[in-house]
Every structure is written in structure tokens, then in C-alpha cells.
Chain A
Amino acid sequence: MQNAHFIQHLVLKISEIFFFTSIALLVVFFILKAFLDIKRKFLKKKSFQVKHREIQEELAHISPKNLPKYANYLSSLSDHQAYQKAITQIEATHLYDKLYALYDTKRLPLSRLALFHSLALLGDPKIRPLALSFTSDKEKRKKIPEFLTIELYALSLSSKNSVHIQELYFILETLDQEEYASQKFAEFFLVKAFISVEEEEILRFLAWMKQQEFNAVYFAAIYALSALPVNKRRHEALCELQHAHPRNRMLIVSFLRVSHRLGLKEPDIVLRHHNDTDDLLRIVCAKVALDMLEDSYYPLLSHYLYDPNPYVRKNFLLSLTKYHIKTETLMAWIEAHYPQHKEDSLTLKSIAQYQSGIS
């Protein structure tokens, strides 16, 4: 009897809990919905105001007292110009340090944290210590992984010298080893960093690279450099690196790309590697070979027409188009050098693509 009474009491209690939890969930839901709606409307309104001078007037009234309100206001700004204006204002009123102090000492709600991380997107140098502390701290990275990319972005954009790029390099190395970041991930940030610094600093960085060991981030840096606009001095620095490690394919790829962009010829390297097993090296050779070799070597390259890698075929076809070589000539090259591939489906496809490209 006592047992039944207990169960009855328990069931009633559970029902009560369910009922009140549902009501609470509903109330919170609609409050949250209202809050988010207001925020969205505010955002719309503010982005309209950004185009006007009102924003300046509003910013003029900021003081440490209304800092939280200001922080919310900042997080609602949606374009870069507005951020820039806001940051200028922060600097003028010496609030930057206070914002940092707030970030470091208090456990902030996510929305406020997001504000600091959003500021990072501007790449302002003052955000750099914050970005560094976040990206170097494994715990922080794991706690809010979504912000990692933004902070790395901030580090890249705020890089002003080779030491800054080295800092980024080491963090990317850690991410490569501990968090399995891909080479493309490192490339993305290194490209941004290289764009942000002066040429002298890039050369200093390249000199520093000579002492580094080969790894994914090393190659990401080399690849990022060869993807950017080049000049003779950078080419020389890359050339030194390449001569120091003549068998490294990644360095050959970068060296060929940079040389080609500068209009320089490296026929020996192309002849040595045009039929390499490495896809990337063949892709680059297919692109630069016609420009770097004498006419007499052209038929040797016709194997690119049936290469299993579509990028090799594509690059070779594009360079062929530049030289207006006739389809019959192409077929004759293949017949003379690789007759077994005359009817190859990939060869036929390439020829068809070439014809349609010419027409």
C-alpha cells in the first residue's frame, strides 16, 4: 500500500515536472524569438544608419559606463566600414584596453565573446595578442572551435613582419600535428599573411625557411608564395631554396611556376620532370613546357593528351591553344611517338576539346 502511494506520488511529481518544464520551454522560446527578432530588425536599421552620419554621433557619446551597451552595438554592425569607424572611436576614448581587460578577466557570454572575435576579422594589430593567446591555447581552441578560423585570419591579416609570419607558421605547425589541419588550411592563411607584409619581410621569411624542416606547413608556405604575384628577388630566393634541395618536387613545382610567370626558361628542369609520377609536377610541367622548351621538343610532350589526370590534359590543351597548333599535327605527334595511344579515349576527348576550343 505504501509502495503504491509512493509510486502514485512519484508519477504525479514527474507529470508536474514535465508540465512546468514544457511551459518554461515555451515561455523561454518566445522570449528568445522576440529577442532574436529585435536583434535582426536592429541590425537592418543600423546597417541603414551606417550609411549616414548618425553613427558618428552615437559613437561620440561612448564612455566606460555604457561599455556593455556599446559592445552590443558593435556586435550589431554588419560592415567593415562601420567596424573601422567604431575602432577609431575606441582608440580615441582609450576603451580598447578596457575591452581587453574585460575579455581577460570575466567570463563573458557568447554574444560578447563573438564581438571580440568579430573584431579579429579586421586584422587590427591590436587584436593580435588576443588572437595569439587564443590560437596557442589548446583548451580555448577546443572549447570554442568555431572561432579558431577567425583568430587565425586575424593573425594573418595583422602580420606586419617576418616574425609575425613565423608566429603564424608555428601555430599552423601545431594545428597540423595536433588537430590534423590540411595543407590547404595553412596555405589559405599564409597567402593572407604574405599579402599583408612588405616584400623585404617575405624575403626575410624565405631566408628563415632555409633552416626549417620539410613538413606540410613548409610546403604550404612555398605553394602560397608561388601562387602570389612574383618578382625577381623572390624568384632568386626560391631558386636558392630549390638548389639546396634539387630533388624536392614541391620546390620544383613552385620554382617552375614562379619562373614561368616571370617569363624565364628552365628547359633542363622541364625535360627532367615532364613525365614525372607526381601529379602536381606533371600539371605544372604541362602548363609551362611549351613556353620553356624549343619547338623540336614539342612532340615529346604529346603524352599529356592522354594523361589520366584531367588537370594535366586541361593545362596542356590551354597552352596548345596559345600556339595554334593544328589538330593534324597533334595526331601526327602521337602516331610518331605513342602509336598505341592514337585511339585512346582520353586522347580522342582531348582532341575533341581542343577542336571545340579552337572553333
Chain B
Amino acid sequence: MFAFLLAFFEQIQYLYLFYLAITNIITTWMIWVTLKQMVRCYYCDIDMLLHSLYHTQVYTPISILAPAYNEQETIISSVYSLLKLHFQEYEIVIINDGSKDETLERIIKEFDLYSVAITQELTLEHAKIRNVYHSPHYKNLTVIDKENGGKADALNSAINLANYPLICCVDADTILEEDAILHGLEKFVKDRRVIAVGGAIGITNGSVIKDHKMSERKVPNSLIEGFQILEYLRGFFAGRVGWQNSNGLVLISGAFGIFKKDLVLKIGGYRHTIGEDLDLLIRMRRYCYENNIAHQVKFVSDILCWTQCPGDYQSLLKQRSRWQKGLLETLYHHRKMFFNPKYGIVGTLSLPYFFLIEALGPIITFLGVVSIIVLYMFGLVNPYSIVLFFLLEFVWGVMLNIFALYLDLFTKHAYVGYWPYMKLLLLSLLEPFVYKPLLKAELFVATFNFMNASWGEIKRKAL
């Protein structure tokens, strides 16, 4: 039995090393693909065209939906940033999802809101709407006050009230770039098959926000926030551009995503789950595959919106735990799509990748590290395995971080000077030893705890 266990651990150890190698190869490839695209965009004077598009009659109006739950610190700033967007015709729908703080009171006071009758046909189900408000100063601003029902519920209520054929779902603590909608719309105009567009997300922590706009981008002094900047660049940014190029993108962040409203309505809006953003896009794509609708999902390879990342370990672990639970729940819900050629690249590649690399990753990592420790304790560990582990996990990890920093050079809001990059380089040396193990441990726990789904709260700072 003992010998069997040791043999098992030996195999697990190799499986783990294989997993690490595969993950690193995929990440390297994705950063490379993203970098190539970003360099092309950097030299392409697309802003002038977007400006031109802004001044023509040829556009599709859009509804911006922003659910807010206990966002009293950031809500006013976010609404102002939304009101400043460069776009001809858009409406903003803020949903107060039963906040316990002063979110609603602050918006009412700031924008002199007055109550109006609820007059739209409510096709999607959601918790009861208490009141709908309009502003006398901003005709395109609507605020919904409803009973708490979660983010998906709040978005469904706003979709019901939205007037326009495109909906842009943003987080209420998000600050959008002025031309974010134009960038997103360009993708819809260029290709009629596009059903959804996402954009890269930047982190505001430590930066200077002036007039509800990103004024000076800085690397925060806190370790935890700095690590997340690296993670956003390496994982979220590069990964999505990579998947988009093969039309395998299944995740558009809840912080900024534009969707075709008619398709969202056809699939019944958001499903009540904690991974609602991942679930929505998978269901949209599933519907298209099942009904033979040619479709594309695009990603804009520049930072279109800014958000705060968790500033303390507790909030971060809660957030990541929630993401992991959402991922597992959604993958389980769509398990029939796995390895099913009927669902194209999503069924054959994207979802299996998410399952094997992202969802099972924490378990493989945990078992792999345990096996190396156990084998080491019994003097059975292959020394080259340890060296290989070190090379794959730490050395290649650091290299990937450096490589990912290249992406930042070609964003519109690249850091000014060398110091921010020096700081990020130092952090990238520390990350594999401090940040990654902690996160993986939390994800491992969350994997076994995914039935206990709740949103939790993240502490926000005023902008």
C-alpha cells in the first residue's frame, strides 16, 4: 500500500510538472500574440477614425447598465465618468441593488433625481423594483432602486428598462475611458457577426484620478495591489486577446462588456449565479451554435476601463474564491458542451482549457506540491524534478512577468518613467514566492467549497 502511494505521488509529481510546462507555454504564446496585436494597434491611428465616427449619423445607440451594491464611495465618480463618454446617443441605467449604505441617497442628492412611473414591459424576471428615478439635468440618466437580488438580478432589471439595441454592462466602481464605447462599437460595425465585445481593465489603486478620469497612473505601494497589476497584465489581458484571435473567447469581464440586447433577451438574460459574466457569454455562444448563427466575440486590446482591485488579502481571497466558485458552477452547468464538436472551438478547446487548466489547476498544484514534499521526506524525490519545478514555476514565471510588462508599453496610459516598471520588476521576483502560493491555496479551498456561493464584500476607497 505504502509503495503504491509513493508510486502514485511520483506520477502526480510528473503530472504537475507537465501541467506547469503546458500552462507556461500557453501563457507565453498568448502574451506573444497580444504583443503583436498591440504593436499593430499602437501604430495604427485608429483614434482619428473613431473621432470621425463620433461625428457621423452612422452609429448604434447603446444603454450602459451599472449595478451598484454598497458603492457609496465610488458611485458619484463613476456616474460622472459615464456622463462624459464620447458618444452621440446613450443612456445610463444605474441599479441600486438594495444597498445597505448611502449609495442611493448620494445619487439622489447629487443629481436631483425625481421618481417616475415604471412603464416598461418587464420580460426578464428579477426582484421587485421599488422605484425608478430620472434626473432633470441629465436626460439620459435613469436610476433603478430595487430589492437586493445579486448582480445578475440587477442587470436583468436594467435590461428590461434599457431602450437601445446594444447594452454595455459595467461595474458601478468602474471608470470608463471617454472613447470606450466608440472602441467597442467599432468592432460591432466592422463585423456584423459580433455578439459581444470586451475591453482590457486597468487598476486604479495608487493612481491619481482627476475630474473622474485617469490622470496619472502609478504603481501602488502595497504589495498585494502591485501583484494584481502583474496578474491583470499577464493573465486577464494577454489571455483574452489570445482567445479572441481564435474566436474561442468565453469570458468578458463583468467590469466592461458590450452585448447585443436581442440575443441576451433570447437566452433569458443573466442567470442567477456568481459567475454571471462567464455564464452569460457561454450561453450566448451556446445559443448561436445550437441555432447555426455565425458569431464572433471581440476584445479591444487597450485599457478601456479602470477599476479598483482588492486592497487587502482578505478581500482578495474572497474575490478569488468567488471567481473560482463561479467558474466551477458555470462549467458544471455547461458540461454537455465539453469536447462536443457541435459547439465549435468553445466546446472543443475553450471550455476544456478552462476546466483542465483553470478549474482543476488548484487541485493539480496542491497534489503536485504535496507529492514533491512527501517524496522529498522519504528521500525519493528526483533532484531534477525539483530543479525543473523551480525552473518552471519561478524562473519561467518571472520571465513571463517581464514579458507581460512589454504589453503595458503599448497601452495608451503606459506608466511614465522607469520607476513604476522597476517596482513591477521587483514585485515579479517576489510574486512566485509570496502571491502565487497564497492564491493557489485559497483557490484549492474554494474548489471544494463551491456550493457555498456568496458574493462577500470588497472594501473600496473613495475616488
Contacts from A to B (Cβ < 8 Å): 7-8, 11, 14-15, 18-19, 21-22, 25-26, 29-30, 32-33, 36, 110-111, 113-114, 117-118, 121, 144, 146-147, 149-150, 153, 179-185, 187-188, 191-192, 224, 227, 308, 310, 345-346, 348-349, 352
CA distance A118 to B44 in the complex (A): 8
Q: How far is the CA of A114 from the CA of B402 in the complex (A)?
A: 27
Partner of A149, one of B163, B190, B391: B190
B48 cross-chain contacts in A, Cβ below 8 A: 121
B236 at the interface (CB under 8 A from A): no
Question: 14 pairs across A/B with beta carbons < 8 Å?
Answer: A11-B388, A15-B387, A15-B391, A15-B395, A21-B399, A25-B399, A25-B402, A25-B403, A26-B425, A29-B421, A188-B56, A188-B58, A188-B189, A345-B121
Q: Is the CB of A185 within 8 A of B190?
A: yes
**For A21, what are the chain B residues with a Cβ–Cβ distance below 8 Å?**
399
Residue on B nearest A121 in the bound complex, by CB: B48
A310 touches B191 (CB 8 A): no
State the majority secondary structure of interface residues on B.
Answer: helix
Contact, CB under 8 Å: A346 / B39: no
Q: Using a CB–CB distance below 8 Å, which chain B residues touch chain A?
A: 39-41, 43-46, 48-49, 52-53, 56-60, 116-121, 163-164, 186, 188-193, 294, 296, 384, 387-388, 391, 395-396, 398-399, 402-403, 405-406, 409, 414, 418, 421, 425
Whole-angstrom CA separation of A351 from B110 in the bound complex: 28
Kindly identify which residue among A8, A15, A117, A184 contacts B60, using a CB–CB cutoff of 8 Å: A184
Verify A118–B116 contact, CB threshold 8 A: no
Give the docked Cα–Cα distance between A52 and B331 (Å). 62
In whole angstroms, what is the CA distance A308 to B39 when docked?
45
Q: Across the interface, do B45 and A121 meet the contact criterion of CB distance under 8 Å?
A: yes
Other A-B pairs beyond A182-B192, A224-B58, 14, CB < 8 Å: A14-B391, A29-B406, A117-B44, A146-B44, A149-B186, A180-B294, A180-B296, A182-B190, A185-B189, A188-B53, A192-B52, A227-B57, A345-B119, A349-B117
In the complex, are the beta carbons of B391 and A181 less than 8 A apart? no
**Inter-subunit contact A150/B49 (CB<8 Å):** yes
Q: Are B58 and A191 in contact (CB under 8 A)?
A: yes
CB-CB under 8 A from B119, the residues of chain A are 345-346, 348-349, 352
Q: What is the predominant secondary structure among interface residues of chain A facing chain B?
A: helix
Tell me, rounded to whole Å, the shortest Cβ–Cβ distance linking B325 to chain A. Answer: 35
B46 and A181 contact, CB distance less than 8 A: no
Complex-state Cα separation, A188 to B59, whole angstroms:
9
Residues of chain B within 8 A of A191, CB atoms compared = 56-58
A14: chain B residues at CB < 8 Å are 391
Q: Name which residue of chain A comes closest to B162, CB basis.
A: A310
A18 surroundings in chain B (CB, below 8 A): 391, 395-396, 399
Q: Are B402 and A349 in contact (CB-based, < 8 A)? A: no
Contact A184 B58 (CB under 8 A): yes
- Beta-carbon nearest neighbor of B387 in chain A: A11
Chain A residues whose CB sits within 8 angstroms of the CB of B396 once the complex forms:
18
Which residues of B have CB within 8 Å of A11? 384, 387-388, 391
Residues of A within 8 A of B387 (CB): 11, 15
Tell me the bound Cα distance from A308 to B265 in angstroms.
15
Name the B residues within 8 Å of A33 (CB-CB): 409, 418, 421
Q: Are A180 and B44 in contact (CB under 8 A)?
A: no
User: Closest CB of chain A to B109's CB: distance in Å?
Assistant: 21
A284 to chain B, nearest CB (A): 14
Whether the Cβ atoms of A146 and B41 lie closer than 8 Å is yes
Closest Cβ of chain B to A342, distance in Å, is 14
CA gap between A29 and B402 in the complex, in Å:
8
Q: Which residues of A have CB within 8 Å of B41?
A: 146
Min CB distance B154 to A, Å, is: 21
Q: Nearest Cβ in chain A — how far from B377, in angstroms?
A: 22
Check B120–A349 contact: CB distance below 8 A.
yes
The CA of A206 and the CA of B258, in the complex, are separated in Å by 37
Q: Which of A7, A29, A182, A187 contacts B191 (CB 8 A)?
A: A182
**B283 → chain A closest CB, angstroms:** 22
**Contacts of A224 on B, CB cut-off 8 Å?**
58
Determine the residue in chain B with the shortest Cβ distance to A175: B190
The docked-state distance in angstroms from the alpha carbon of A310 to that of B399 is: 53
| Residues A29 and B405 in contact, CB atoms below 8 Å apart | yes
CB distance from B43 to the nearest CB of A (A): 4
Please report the C-alpha to C-alpha distance between residue A349 and residue B163 in the assembled complex, in whole angstroms: 13
CB pair B192 A180 closer than 8 Å = yes
Q: How far is the CA of A273 from the CA of B122 in the complex (A)?
A: 29
The answer on a CB contact under 8 Å between B405 and A30 is no
Closest to B50 in A: A149
In the assembly, what is the distance between CA of A26 and CA of B405, in Å?
A: 10
Top 3 A-B pairs, shortest CB-CB distance: A349-B119, A114-B43, A182-B192
A29 CA to B403 CA, complexed, in Å: 8
Give the distance in Å from the alpha carbon of A352 to the alpha carbon of B60 in the complex: 26
Complex Cα–Cα for A251 and B190 (A): 24
Residue of B nearest to A7 (CB): B384
Cβ contacts under 8 Å, B425 to chain A? 26
Cβ of A146: which chain B residues have Cβ within 8 Å of it? Answer: 40-41, 44, 46
| A180-B193 Cα distance, complex, nearest whole Å | 7
CB <8 Å contact, A345 and B120: yes
Which residues in A have their C-beta under 8 angstroms from that of B116?
352
Q: Which residue of A lies closest to B60 (CB)?
A: A184
- CB A32 to nearest CB in B, in angstroms, measures 6
User: Which residues does chain A contribute within 8 Å of B186, judged by CB atoms?
Assistant: 149
